[in-house]
Structure 1
């Protein structure tokens, strides 16, 4: 007498946990991508063939197309720029000021900012984007 099973075994993959994992990965990458670049003032930087990455103590000075000046996302008037930079500079640390200036502005606008660095013997670096 042959005994047959009425129930057949079907292989199943539980996918409910996979959607949870994908959701957490999506959240993780969204949060990390916003923290990766804290300078959210968008501008078109000048092009350069060579780019050097710096890991020193940095102060970011951004100039917009409308000639608005920002020091680490804080807006500063041009007349107050020198005093504010000197307040932020720590003589014990080797701090560098990174100038983010659009490629569309005139050279004189860049020179006006660089003269502050020359006058106070500050280290200035111009940010560029790769060619």
Structure 2
């Protein structure tokens, strides 16, 4: 009479080693994520001030069409002419405060909008972005 061995595999799993690995990964990601600095546009946000506002002249409106054409106060200009015109405007106002309103079309490429913002930044002009039309 042969007796059969009862070989059963245990269905239990030891979770302590798995939790150790999970906590080590959590600590690793927490430490490395704080060291990463995102590379984004440096935007100057308006702050609160106690000074009284001085009445300003009407800002120029720069419209950008979906095919990359630039319009300043409804007159078509090239990007080079736009930069030269803004330089002259800045000089006429004795390097005072100059503002432009950027109004892109909803299908305008981002590079066209960033080009205008870059010109405004280089010349020290306040650029106000509006909702695309």
Normalising by structure 1, we get a TM-score of 0.50
Give the structure with the higher percent strand: 1
Q: Which has the higher contact order (CA 8 A, sep 6+)?
A: 1
Normalising by structure 2, we get a TM-score of 0.49
